[in-house]
Chains A and B, each alone.
Chain A
Amino acid sequence: MWNRVTSELLRDMGRIQQEVNRTLRDQSYDGEFPPVNVYANSDRAVLVSEVPGMEPASLDVTVSGETITIAGVVSALQAAEGENIHRAERFAGKYSRTIRLPYPVNPEQVVAMLKNGVLRIELPRVEHDKPRKIEIKSA
């Protein structure tokens, strides 16, 4: 009897796996929402995040030392009267991402821009943390 239960369970799990694969295949990211890329040079870091559908007012960005947090809420899709929802794959719910930057940044000089559902945040490194070239004197 247990063998039968186990085999049915395995079959169900296989079906669930197939369903998940079908839904998630070939997407530009598969981790947490919203996905984040970070670029940097010795003077500044740039954080880019895909936030389709977001308005500037619905995004909360906070910077503290060498961490940055992006947070917000997307209201869930609800069927109106006489409406059927066939697919609900777009993100809905609360989100919050905290990313550690390669160095502390100056919160006063952070600039965030939203264009076509892509958030770009420019994060200048704090002055005292920047690498300095040391001049070598000849004796």
Chain B
Amino acid sequence: MSAKIIREESQNQVVEPVRNDTVFAPRVNIRETEGQIVIEADMPGVSESGIDISLEKRILTIEGLPEKIETEGYGRIYSEFRYGIFRRSFSIQADVDNDNISASVKNGVLTIVLPKIVPAKKKIVVSAG
């Protein structure tokens, strides 16, 4: 059941960015407990000011714009990674307390904590009679 709580949205998004940058899906770790969902996303080169997070109709979208690497005066002689925007969307299939979502960036890793609304347990007293 818990595996269904987070479903990934199709990348064929109708919304298109104005900037003509390549878009990459950041690698993520997602953990969940009874009380919260924690998403950690690799966004190397991204500082706090480059992060954009939105949650709309249960779709969580994370976006990160990395700082450009300063290479003026150098020629590129070997290349394994490319520059681009990080973006990925998830469908959150749990009731989340929207007002208490927290996010932080450290060493190029974005961490989002989504507290779940846990229904209060009501004790129903059955009286005889």
Contacts and interface: CB of A to CB of B under 8 A. Distances in A.
Partners in one complex: yes
A82 B80 contact: no
A26 B25 contact: yes
A55 B24 CA distance: 24
A52 B109 contact: yes
A83 interface: yes
B28 A87 contact: yes
A103 B77 CA distance: 12
A7 B93 CA distance: 36
Interface string A71-90: 00000010110111111111
Nearest to A32: B80
Interface in B1-40: 2-3, 5-6, 11, 23-25, 27-34, 40
- Residue with the highest number of chain A CB atoms closer than 10 Å, among B2, B34, B42, B43: B42
Nearest to A26: B25
A121 B29 CA distance: 28
B31 A116 contact: no
A80 B29 CA distance: 14
A51 B74 CA distance: 22
A41 B73 contact: yes
B28 A90 contact: yes
A65 B24 CA distance: 35
Given A26-B24, A52-B107, A90-B27, A37 B2 contact: no
Contacts of B126: none
Given A53-B42, A99-B78, A27 B25 contact: yes
Interface string B63-83: 000110101011111111111
A117 B105 CA distance: 10
Contacts of B30: 85-87
Contacts of B44: 50-52, 116-118
A102 B77 contact: yes
Given A38-B76, A55-B107, 19 more contacts: A26-B24, A27-B27, A28-B24, A28-B84, A39-B74, A48-B69, A50-B44, A50-B108, A52-B42, A80-B33, A84-B2, A84-B33, A86-B2, A86-B30, A87-B28, A90-B29, A90-B42, A99-B78, A118-B44
Interface of A: 25-29, 31-32, 35-41, 45-46, 48, 50-55, 77, 79-80, 82-91, 99, 102, 114, 116-118, 120
